[in-house]
Amino acid sequence: EPSLLRSKFRGSLLGALIGDCTGSPYEGETITAGEKIIIQRYFDKLEEPNLNLKTPFRAYTDDTAMTKSVAKFLIDKPEPDYGFLARLFVNDYFKEPRRGYGQNVVDVFHKLKTSKFEDVFKPAAEQFMGSGSYGNGGAMRIAPIGLYYHNNYKIMIKVATQSTKITHTHLLGINGALLQCMAVQQALMLDPQKKLDPRHFCLELYLKMKEVEKTEEDGEDESDFTSRAYQEKLKVVERLLGKPHDDNLDDEVIRNLGHGISAYESVPTAIYCFLKTQNESCGIMTDNLLRRTIQYAITLGGDTDTIASMAGAIAGAYLGEDAVNSSIAKHCESYKEIAELADNLFEARGGSLVSE
């Protein structure tokens, strides 16, 4: 049904925005039990409809800046043009460099600019002495690709891979972006009226990741952790989903899934945050499932803007715009522009569509 699909596009991009804007004040922090209460009050306050709009205005960070570029790349060009995407990233960075970009990705932007975008994949490949970045910067911006190519899995994987390689070429950086993309796409395809089966959702992702991580090399090295990293993580997600929520479980989540700046320590965590909060309160006092996902992600601490943004993108793709609290959205920078971008992405998807 097209109107539900449109609502899901909006839900996903607004979920990503809200997660980034509300999560960024806590980025890099360890969250204590006391701070969980403060975060609860912070969200309660954002939900008040008559709140002075000046007070809690929340700016977005690099996560949203780059997501906007990925959406524009899909909307403005009928065929993927990675030179165009690289220019969007770089122009945005030089226009607004103080959005909290990682220091290393900034080197890529400088190299792209000085090389006049001659080979848009070369600067990223040179990062970290040639091993490439495994940061979560590829995954944090991938949602528009999962939405736009939701009916064309093979092309989705290809475009997600290539667009990630402009900044991240380490296998863990690429596969983390692919996993986040698959999660958004899978959530989009589900009926929000039906009760979600978290472990089934996880198993489906596991099977897809197993396919992605299947290497073609002979004499496969079983001990090669990077080549099976995400399928192993998804097994941990599945195990943790089976346990009842309490503060100790949160600590176990942080220890076993992570809350760091690498894709490996954040994408499976974001997926877990979405899945865990759909049927359990997780200590968050709200009936709004999108808020619950985002607020829960922030209470885990660490890379809060990015994990909350990725979890919000998945939850929003499942729940649709109905789950977006408009008071919270209005406190986030550019929420109108993001809603429009979602609509334009929805309209543009036509060319890539086989059937609805």
**What is the Cα–Cα distance from 301 to 88, expressed in whole angstroms?**
30
Q: Is 63 helix (H, G, I), strand (E, B) or coil?
A: helix
Q: Please say which residue, 122 or 199, places its beta carbon nearer to ligand F2R.
A: 122
Q: Nearest to residue 236, comparing CAs of 271, 260, 263? A: 271
Q: For Mg ion, give the closer residue by CB, 20 or 238.
A: 20
Residue with tokens 């460099």: 97
Closer CB to ligand F2R, residue 63 or residue 213?
63
Residues in the chain: 356
Binder of residue 227, out of Mg ion, ligand F2R, none (CB less than 5 to 8 A by kind):
Mg ion
b (16+ CB within 10 A) / e for 152-179: beeebbebbbbbbbbbbbbbbbbbbbbb
How far apart are CB 205 and ligand F2R at their closest, in Å? 21
- Note whether 69 binds ligand F2R by CB under 6 A: no
Residue 352 interacts with which of Mg ion, ligand F2R, none, CB < 5 to 8 Å by class: none
Binding of ligand F2R by 231 (CB under 6 A): no
25 binds ligand F2R (CB under 6 A): no
Binding site for Mg ion (CB under 5 A): 61-63, 100, 215, 220, 224, 227, 303, 305-306
Q: How far is the CB of 215 from Mg ion (least distance, A)?
A: 4
Q: What is the DSSP letter of 230?
A: H
Cβ 324 vs Cβ 316: under 8 Å: yes
- Considering only residues 295 to 354 of the shown chain, the ones binding ligand F2R according to CB under 6 A are 303, 305-306
Determine if 56 is a binding residue for ligand F2R (CB under 6 A). no
Q: What is the Cα Rg of the chain in Å?
A: 19
Query: Could you tell which of Mg ion, ligand F2R, none binds residue 102, using a CB distance below 5 to 8 A set by kind?
Result: ligand F2R
Can you read off the two tokens belonging to residue 13?
């991009």
Minimum distance between the CB of residue 95 and ligand F2R, rounded to whole angstroms? Answer: 16
Interface pick for ligand F2R out of 11, 62, 67, 284 (rule CB under 6 A):
62
Q: How far apart are CA 342 and CA 324, in angstroms?
A: 14
First to last CA, the chain: 8
| Between 188 and 332, CB nearer to ligand F2R | 332
* Binder among 9, 22, 63, 274 for ligand F2R (CB under 6 A): 63
Question: Phi and psi at residue 329, in whole multiples of 5°?
Answer: -60, -40
| Shortest separation between residue 353's beta carbon and Mg ion, angstroms | 32
Binders of ligand F2R in range 91-150 (CB under 6 A): 100, 102-105, 128, 131, 133-137, 140
Binding mask 255-274 for ligand F2R (x = CB under 6 A): ------xx------------
Residue 224 touches which of ligand F2R, Mg ion, none (Cβ within 5-8 Å per kind): Mg ion
Nearer to Mg ion, 105 or 323 (CB): 105
Find the DSSP H helices in the chain.
Answer: 2-23, 33-47, 62-76, 82-95, 103-114, 122-125, 143-148, 153-164, 171-189, 198-212, 229-241, 247-256, 267-279, 289-299, 304-319, 326-330, 335-348
Which one of ligand F2R, Mg ion, none interacts with residue 80, CB within 5 to 8 A by kind? none
Structural contact between residues 315 and 274, judged by C-beta atoms closer than 8 angstroms? yes
User: Which residue bears the tokens 């969200």?
Assistant: 43
Contact predicate 157/151, CB 8 Å: no
Q: Least distance from C-beta 166 to ligand F2R, angstroms? A: 11
Instruction: Compute how many residues bind ligand F2R; rule: CB under 6 A.
Output: 23
238 is a site residue for ligand F2R (CB under 6 A): no
Q: Which stretches of the chain bind ligand F2R, using CB under 6 A? A: 27, 61-63, 100, 102-105, 128, 131, 133-137, 140, 170, 261-262, 303, 305-306
